[in-house]
Amino acid sequence: MKQIDLQEEREHIIQVSRELHEVGLLVRTWGNISSRVDKDHFLVTPSGIKYEDLTPEMISLVNINDLSFEGDYKPSSESKVHAYSYKVRPDAGFIVHTHQVFASCAGTLGVKKVFSYFDDEDVTIPVAPYALPGTEKLAENVARTLNKYKDSNGIIMANHGTLCLGGNSKEAIFEAEMMETACNDFLIDVCKTDMTHGVEVGYNSHLENGVVVYDQKDTPERVKRIHEQIYSKRRDINYIIHNKSEAVMTVSRRANHMRPLLDDFAQLIGVSVKIPDNEDEIYHNIKKNVNVVFSPNDGAYCVGSTEDDAQAVAIVLDKGCIAYMAVMRNGEGHYLSKLECIKMNRHYRKSYSKLADINKN
């Protein structure tokens, strides 16, 4: 294939990524996109770079058979999932992997299929068994599911996200959008979780030369004490985002402990999060490597060394709380094991976040 064709396809991948980013199906650096070039190669987005920052030279050309690649940027950590998928689906020309909210949440319920509807037609979405992200086991589980359900061009990766295939980008995008609508309807009907996703800001703050600066001048003294306690125990953080979304508020009122149901929760937030019974217990629940501090009946404080990091934690927490409520109301779900969570959290802190910093600089 001529170089100009590869260049055009790289630009097309970037265009698709930004379209999906604008509608909220792709966020920050999460998920990935690929396009088949020929029977032995595909182009794929890199690891650790925001979609709005992508340039054509960042899109790597990967060999389907041995995952060797051409380019200066490391291809997505899920390249093996793409390679295995192209092998079992020779008709696929484009793949979108997302961490979209409602489909990801539906994938925590421990079901093998999600039964829903779209445009008054029944929809069945297969769920691939869970495996740690970036592993051969995950790629094998995805390939086996795609091979078993040959009529399905969209599947859920349990406790992780989605994989949507198409002969071209339009078909893959349609699968992602259809799946999100169908899974939202499923959660509403089955789990009674009719909740919007997003960050509802309460009282935020940041440090300037060691001094706490509050975004809102009318921040209550009660809230200021919580911010000050967090900064005093977490010397590694500079930003706090107070998330009062519907899902987070619900969990802060009704739960006393959250175990991760989703990979990104374990990676960004931590292995276990406790919700105190009263404000006097908040200080003791401020933990190293746990990036959320719940306030009873008042949402949660999401922390990070940068504003972007804190915002990412707030986004992931809201999705994690929707998943938690879905599992509670469904009466059954699949939680990640403590060992799996520890592995992902350690890997993210030591590897992925450093990669993001290198690419950012």
| pLDDT one-digit tens code per residue, 252-289 | 998 899 999 999 999 999 999 999 999 889 999 999 98
Residue type at 157 in one-letter notation: M
Q: How confident is the model at residue 354 (pLDDT cuts 50, 70, 90)?
A: low
- Judge if 73 and 182 occupy the same domain: yes
Cβ within 8 Å of residue 17, ≥6 positions away = 26, 33, 45, 51, 54
- Judge if 162 and 246 occupy the same domain: no
Asked if residue 352 has pLDDT above 80, the reply is no
Domain of 333, in residue numbers:
205-360
- Judge if 42 and 131 occupy the same domain: yes
Task: Write down the pLDDT at residue 361.
Answer: 47
Asked if residue 4 has pLDDT above 60, the reply is no
Which pLDDT tens digit goes with each residue over 329-339? 999 999 999 99
Last residue of a domain, one of 191, 225, 241: 191
Task: Report the distance separating Cα 155 and Cα 143, nearest Å.
Answer: 10
Last residue of a domain, one of 169, 191, 213: 191
Asked if residue 1 has pLDDT above 70, the reply is no
Q: 10 Å Cβ neighbour count for 232?
A: 10
Asked if residue 27 has pLDDT above 80, the reply is no
- Judge if 98 and 152 occupy the same domain: yes
Task: Write down the pLDDT at residue 53.
Answer: 87
What mean pLDDT do residues 51-68 have? 92
Which pLDDT tens digit goes with each residue over 140-196? 999 999 999 999 999 999 999 999 999 999 999 999 999 999 999 999 999 999 888
Task: Report the distance separating Cα 301 and Cα 201, nearest Å.
Answer: 10
> What is the tally of structural domains in the chain?
2
DSSP state of 76: P
pTM for the model stands at 0.92
Q: How confident is the model at residue 51 (pLDDT cuts 50, 70, 90)?
A: confident
Last residue of a domain, one of 133, 161, 191: 191
Task: Report the distance separating Cα 356 and Cα 2, nearest Å.
Answer: 31
- Judge if 317 and 186 occupy the same domain: no
Asked if residue 356 has pLDDT above 80, the reply is no
- Judge if 182 and 258 occupy the same domain: no
